[in-house]
Amino acid sequence: MIAMNKDRIGTSFSHLCFITVCTVMVYALPNTSIATELGYQPVLPQFGGQNGQSLGVLQFEKQMYDSVVSKRIAAQREIDRLANQIVTTPGDALIASLTRTLQSRIANSLATDILGGTGNGSFEMEGVGVSYVRDIVTGDTVVTITDINGVTEITIPGVILE
């Protein structure tokens, strides 16, 4: 029995020490409240929050979306370019070159006739009509060009040599 009482006294003493230490700690702490006011703090920037991580995620998603859109636009442009690309052979290139040279020579000849001639005239080529009239009094030449866009009139001042 004596052994039991010693164990009980040791256990009671350890309880008493624990309670004393807890009481001293409660009185030793300053008289402040540990609880804080609860309030809603938005996290997402769409709702006024300040969360750097979510903003970074949104920026990354926008960059990815813009990248996909720009790739689609570039691919569509490339498809259009390839669809409109004309495959030319050396024969096609020769015909195009001859056509440009002949058109240039015809244009030079017509310009010489219009500016150097003394009379009036007109001609039509591929839906474009050109007429020119020289005024014998002032020496001015009026060139009228008619095409699908309308009528253009150009007056070229002339010099009368006496």
Q: For 18-31, write each residue's pLDDT tens digit.
A: 788 777 666 666 55
Pairing of strands 121-125, 128-134: antiparallel
Average the pLDDT over 4-16 and give the result.
61
Collapse the DSSP code of 146 into the 3-class scheme (helix H, G, I; strand E, B; otherwise coil) and give the result: strand
Cα–Cα distance between 161 and 89 in angstroms, integer?
52
Residue type, 135: D
Q: For 103-132, write each residue's pLDDT tens digit.
A: 899 888 888 877 777 678 888 888 889 898
> What was the pLDDT predicted at 76?
92
Q: For 61-70, write each residue's pLDDT tens digit.
A: 888 889 899 9
Collapse the DSSP code of 124 into the 3-class scheme (helix H, G, I; strand E, B; otherwise coil) and give the result: strand
What does pTM read for this prediction?
0.38
* DSSP collapsed to 3 states, 14-72: HHHHHHHHHHHHHHHCCCCCCCCCCCCCCCCHHHCCCCHHHHHHHHHHHHHHHHHHHHH
Q: For 141-161, write each residue's pLDDT tens digit.
A: 888 999 998 999 988 887 654
Q: For 29-53, write each residue's pLDDT tens digit.
A: 655 556 667 777 776 666 766 666 6
